[in-house]
Amino acid sequence: MTSAPSPNPMIQFSEVSKVYPGGIEALNQLTFQIDKGEMVFLAGHSGAGKSTLLKLIAGIERANRGTVTVNGQNLSKMHPTELAYLRQHIGLIFQDHKILFDRTVHENVLLPLEIIGFDRREAAKRVRAALDKVGLLNKEKMNPVRLSGGEQQRLCIARAVVHRPAILLADEPTGNLDRAYAQDIMELFKSFHQVGVTIVISAHDEILMREYGQRTIRLSQGKLG
Amino acid sequence: MQRFFYLHLRAASQALRTLLQQPLSSLLGLAMLGLAVALPVCLYLLVSSAQQWSQGLTVKPEITVFMELNAERTDVVVVDEHLRQHKLIADYEFISREQALKVLLEKQNLQDIGQALGGNPLPDAFIIRPKELTPEQMEQLAVELSHLPLVENTQFDAGWARKLAQILAVLQHFTLVLGASLAVTLLLVTHNMIRMQILAHRDAIEVSKLIGAPNPFIRRPFLYLAVWQGGIAAALGWGLAQAFIATLNPLIADFAALYHSQAELHSLNLEESALLVVSIIGLSCLTAAWTCTRLLRKLEPR
């Protein structure tokens, strides 16, 4: 499902194609847009191109053809350092969490604020607020290895939202969780959506997506389905 | 601006923590670098002190021109005229063979032998003090004067000083080579240390890049690590060199006293010490920057 052109786009794809080395075509001529403050699901089977699409939005990968525009900035024309600064305004939630196990829960969530250069006291306050939001405040001094899968996912969410990004990109955030945990996570996203954050969630749980009744972009073999 | 200083302060303290987290391996690495710094510094101090000492010893070089024994007064006058007009000669003194014999017999208390000789075996001589000349020019002048009529030979009195200067020049060159070896050692050790640190923090670097850390942010703690390492190694090297001087100076003073002379090794002065520290820190920093740039390019987020 595609949306009609809007005067208030946060993310715009215009005839975007992505081919990986070896000729593997991940995305083919994609054109769509996501508005500011919108919450969108990305649906499709494994290998449909959902993760690639999220990586293109975050500037982790670059399109081979077409233009990806985020908040009015054409990513294909940006220098890697500019892309890094752009990512400071994006919250990323990874399928494999990408948690650092040599740091405590608190230190993991602190990382984006350290990168931005937050004052130590203000940063600590924000970390505690983010951990409180995801229900991990009582475990802030723990090593993340001792957290359950659901808790690790919530830690990843806390790290993604601690710097209050304008965009939240989540790659299969409920993929490995049972329904109760998945609903907890979705409720968190809903609360961020309610305060105006643009959210793109890749998922394959149709029931969950229907439950939250948001727009869904369907991908099939790199094309809009 | 406040954020800039905060980020640098944090990176510097983070780098120091990295060194302190592995005290033994850090200490061993730093001790090795300190020794590598101390070796050329000690040699430099030895050479420069010896140079200063030899400059104090070297009297104005002189060339002695000995006439042949059968040279007549007219021959002496010809040589005297030539020397007076020579542009490279500052002044000279003529010592007649009679005068020389008299001085020799008086000085050595050899009057009896003088009578036994039955004649004067010494030649007329000129003692020449040239203008400021290089050792090579001195030698050329001595050769030129030896070709004057009825000149038996010439003697370059400061030859030993030239030899000493040559030995010191060789040592100076050796110091430079040793210094260059130190630079290469420092480069290799710093490169290896930064490479190991980057690989040890590979996960953190990849995650940091994914969530928006630009390369300067990631590079900064490694650069400060190189600054700490270079600074501590320079300080250790300086300290070892000072200890070396303190140990050796009494022995040198005793040795010099045997020749009624005074000698000592001097320490690095403030400018030399600052140059040592700044150049070692600078070299470490440049190596770290190059290593980071090379390796961080390979750790792009995927």
Chains A–B, number of C-beta pairs less than 8 Å apart: 54
Residue B127 in contact with residue B93, Cβ under 8 Å?
A: yes
Amino acid letter, A129: A
Identify the CA nearest to A140 among candidates A171, A180, A109: A109
Q: Which two tokens stand for residue B270?
A: 């403030």
Q: What is the pLDDT of residues B227-274, one digit of tens each?
A: 999 999 999 999 999 999 999 889 988 887 876 677 888 888 999 999
* B211, B218, B296, best to mutate vs chain A, most A CBs in 10 Å: B211
Sign of the C-alpha dihedral, residues A124, A127, A133, A139? negative
Tokens standing for residue A181: 């945990």
Q: Across the interface, which of A103, A117, A160 has its CB nearest the CB of B6?
A: A117
Q: How far is A55 from chain B (nearest CA, A)?
A: 8
pLDDT at A88 over 70: yes
Q: Does residue A75 contact residue A84 with C-beta atoms inside 8 Å?
A: no
Nearest residue in A to B215, CA atom? A81
Q: How far is the C-alpha of A33 from the C-alpha of A8, rounded, in Å?
A: 10
The amino acid occupying position A95 is Q
> Environment class of residue B207 by beta-carbon count within 10 Å: exposed (0-12), middle (13-18) or buried (19+)?
buried
Our CA-based measurement puts residue A107 at a distance from the nearest CA of chain B, in whole angstroms, of 11
pLDDT value of position B133: 74
pLDDT of A34 higher than 90: yes
Q: Residues of B with CB below 8 A from A117's CB?
A: 3, 6-7
Each domain of chain A, given as residue ranges in start order, spans 103-164
Q: Does B207 touch chain A (CB under 8 A)?
A: yes
Instruction: For tokens 């939240």, name the residue.
Output: A168
For Cα atoms B282, B285, B289, give the angle at the middle one, nearest 5 degrees: 140
Record the pTM. 0.70
- Alpha carbons B288 and B13: distance in angstroms, whole number: 17
* Residue numbers in B near A56 (CB within 8 A): none
Whether A193 and A39 have beta carbons less than 8 Å apart is answered as yes
Cα A38 to Cα A3, A173, A200, B4, B100, distances in angstroms: 12, 18, 8, 35, 114
Which residue in B has a C-alpha nearest to residue A96's C-alpha? B207
The pLDDT value recorded for residue B173 is: 85
Mean pLDDT on B75-86: 92
Is the pLDDT confidence value at B110 over 60?
A: yes
HEC sequence for chain A: CCCCCCCCEEEEEEEEEEEECCCEEEEEEEEEEEECCCEEEEECCCCCCHHHHHHHHHCCCCCCEEEEEECCEEHHHCCHHHHHHHHCCEEEECCCCCCCCCCCHHHHHHHHHHHHCCCHHHHHHHHHHHHHHCCCHHHCCCCHHHCCHHHHHHHHHHHHHCCCCCEEEEECCCCCCCHHHHHHHHHHHHHHHHCCCEEEEEECCHHHHHHHCCEEEEEECCEEC
Segment A90-139, tens digit of pLDDT = 999 988 889 999 999 999 999 999 999 888 899 999 999 999 988 899 99
Mutate to test the interface with B, among A51, A78, A98, A167 (most CBs of B within 10 A): A98
Q: Which amino acid is at A54?
A: L
d(CA B184, CA B178): 10
pLDDT, position A3? 46
Chain A residue with minimal CA distance to B206?
A98
- C-alpha A67/C-alpha A90 separation (Å) is 19
Residues B238/B40, Cβ–Cβ less than 8 Å: no
Q: Which helix (H) or strand (E) holds B210?
A: helix B202-210
Average pLDDT of chain B to the nearest whole number: 85
Residues of B in contact with A92 (CB under 8 A): 210-211
Residues B161, B139: Cα–Cα separation, whole Å = 13
The H or E element spanning position B126 is: strand B125-130
Looking at residue B139, its pLDDT comes to 81
Between CA B238 and CA B15 the distance in angstroms is 23
With beta carbons under 8 A apart, name residues in chain A contacting B211. 87-88, 92, 111-112, 115, 159-160
How far is the alpha carbon of A214 from chain B, nearest alpha carbon, in Å?
26
Among A52-66, B19-33, B72-86, the minimum mean pLDDT is found in B19-33
Q: Which residues of A touch B207 (CB under 8 A)?
A: 98, 100, 111
What does the pLDDT read at residue A1? 44
Residue (of B4, B173, B141, B163) closest to B62 by Cα position: B141
Q: Kindly give the pairing relationship between strand B125-130 and strand A65-70.
A: unpaired
Please give the C-alpha separations between residue A200 and each of A13, A186, A203, B21, B141, in angstroms, as whole numbers.
Answer: 14, 12, 10, 41, 92
Give A145 or B108, the one with higher predicted confidence.
Answer: A145
Average confidence (pLDDT) over B125-150: 85
Q: Does the beta carbon of B220 lie under 8 angstroms from any beta carbon of chain A?
A: no
Provide mean pLDDT across the span A13-34: 92
Q: What is the pLDDT of residue B107?
A: 67
Residue B201: how many CB atoms within 10 A of its CB? Answer: 18
DSSP SS3 for B120 = coil
ipTM of the complex: 0.87
CB pair distance less than 8 Å for A60 and B301: yes
pLDDT of residue A2: 45
Q: Lowest mean pLDDT of B25-39, B87-101, B102-116, name the range.
A: B102-116
pLDDT digits (tens, 9 = 90+) for B212-227: 999 888 999 999 999 9
Two structure tokens written together for A73:
């900035």
> What residues of A are in contact with residue B212 (Cβ under 8 Å)?
84-90, 112, 115-116
Q: How far apart are CA A138 and CA A132, in angstroms?
A: 8
pLDDT of residue B155: 84
User: What does the alpha-carbon distance between residue B35 and residue B186 come to, in Å, rounded to a whole number?
Assistant: 11
Give residue B101's pLDDT band: very low, low, confident or very high (50, 70, 90).
confident
Contacts of A81 in chain B (CB under 8 A): 214-216
Name the closest residue on chain B to residue A98, using Cα atoms: B207
- At residue B123 the predicted structure's pLDDT band, cuts being 50, 70 and 90, is very high
Task: Find residue A169's DSSP bridge partners.
Answer: A92, A200
* The pLDDT value given to residue B55: 65
Query: Are the CB atoms for A41 and A190 separated by under 8 Å?
Result: no
Looking at residue A146, what is its pLDDT?
Answer: 94
Cβ distance B63 to B128 under 8 Å?
yes
DSSP state of B93: E
Percent of chain B surpassing pLDDT 90: 32
